[in-house]
A = this chain, B = another copy of it.
Amino acid sequence: MHEALQQFIETRLPLIDQRLHELIMATNMPENLKKAMAYSVDAGGKRIRPLLVLATLQDIGKRSDDALTVACAVEMIHTYSLIHDDLPCMDDDDFRRGKPTNHKVFGEAVAVLAGDALQALAFRSLTELGSTPPEKAVAIMKLLGSASGAEGMVGGQILDMEGEDKQLSLEELETVHLNKTGALLSFCIEAGAILGDLDEKGSAQLRTYAKNIGLAFQIKDDILDITSTTEQLGKTAGSDTSSQKSTYPSLLGLEGAIERLEYHHQTAKEAIGFLGDDSSMLGMFADYIVERNS
């Protein structure tokens, strides 16, 4: 990882973690629900989505006191989706980020409700932006509603479920990922652009960047699943092959998948050429996504 990116992440991560925790603690609710929500939110993870919001603003040279709240709202959406994804009726996972999953600790009913409450809190948090004009707040909430709902993340999860044990075409596989993970990643960049008053031309470039790093992220995940050990990944390697899931390597071969990864990496970087030299955080993020080992 580029040193500048590492430094950026190291300074921002504690701010994100703290604000996330604060947003939950400041909400008046039953103790057990609060514990369940905080359990999953405080479990950490890479925080890629909130970091992308902050990196976008950094790159366009703007500041916003509300950036951290927007960053936390999208992380709450991401976290609620993981809690629901892990449920026995969905992926039935017992562990997440090395800790027992939410329903394993709090029971399924509380896990469903903790997820529901995190979604509500994400939207409510966006109604309390102190230094953003209301029309921009509405625009950001509209984007989040689309990116996280039936047209975006939730729709992608349905497509992903429907595609299991079925041979998808490359186009179908891309549609799954553009919805399931791409829509929320794009939200981060677009919300940053709105907060930073970026013009329409720049925003369109950032959308191209977002779409391409979203796909690159997924292709890299698929490649790591077959080239890494379980130890390196921190999760079971080779699980895609054993579950017969359609992946980029299964459709294109490993070589083909690596080529496609490089294509999306380059397209993403070209799209943000207007941000100038190599010091762009988003550029370094793109490099990190393709170079990471886990």
Among listed A62-70, A112-120, A243-251, A264-272, interface-contacting one: A112-120
**Interface residues in A226-269 (C-beta closer than 8 Å to B):** none
A146 contacts B124, C-beta separation under 8 Å: yes
- In the bound assembly, the distance between CA atoms of A162 and B109 in angstroms comes to 11
A22 at the interface (CB under 8 A from B): no
CB distance from A88 to the nearest CB of B (A): 8
Bound-state CA distance A238–B161 (Å) is: 40
Are B89 and A151 in contact (CB-based, < 8 A)? no
- Chain B contacts of A55 at CB under 8 A? none
* Contact between chains at B29 and A155 (CB < 8 Å): yes
B121 touches A119 (CB 8 A): no
- Distance A116 CA – B157 CA, assembled complex (angstroms): 11
A15 interface residue per 8 A CB criterion = no
A150 touches B33 (CB 8 A): yes
Question: Does residue A108 face the partner (Cβ distance < 8 Å to B)?
Answer: yes
Complex Cα–Cα for A33 and B161 (A): 11
Q: Given A30-B159, A162-B32: A150 and B109 within 8 A (CB)?
A: no
Judged by DSSP, the binding face of A is helix
A33 to B87, CA, bound (A): 18
Q: Which listed residue, B113, B139, B142, touches A154 by the CB 8 Å rule? A: B113
Using CB atoms, name the residue of chain B closest to A111.
B89
Determine the distance from Cα of A115 to Cα of B37 in the docked complex, in whole angstroms.
18
Q: Which A185-206 residues have C-beta < 8 A from chain B?
A: none
Question: Considering residues A110, A133, A150, which has the most beta carbons from chain B within 10 angstroms of its beta carbon?
Answer: A150
Q: Contact between B154 and A117 (Cβ–Cβ < 8 Å)? A: yes
A101, CB-defined interface residue at 8 Å: no
CB pair B121–A34 under 8 Å, yes or no, is: no
Please name all residues of chain B whose beta carbon is closer than 8 Å to the beta carbon of A148 when the two chains form the complex: 120
* Residues A89 and B112 in contact, CB atoms below 8 Å apart: yes
Q: Are B120 and A150 in contact (CB under 8 A)?
A: yes
Q: In the bound complex, do residue A90 and residue B112 qualify as a contact, i.e. CB atoms below 8 Å apart?
A: yes
Chain B residue at minimal CB-CB distance from A77: B120
Q: State how many angstroms separate the Cβ of A140 from the closest Cβ of chain B.
A: 9
Q: A90-B112, A154-B33 are in contact. Are A145 and B121 (CB under 8 A)?
A: yes
Would you call A170 an interface residue if the criterion is a C-beta within 8 Å of the partner chain's C-beta atoms? no
- Cβ–Cβ contact B116 & A154, under 8 A: yes
Q: A28-B151, A34-B150 are in contact. List 9 more A-B contacts (CB 8 A).
A: A29-B158, A30-B159, A30-B162, A81-B116, A113-B154, A115-B116, A117-B155, A123-B123, A127-B142
14 interchain pairs, CB-CB under 8 A? A27-B151, A33-B155, A34-B150, A89-B109, A90-B109, A110-B158, A113-B157, A116-B116, A117-B149, A120-B145, A121-B149, A123-B144, A127-B142, A138-B138
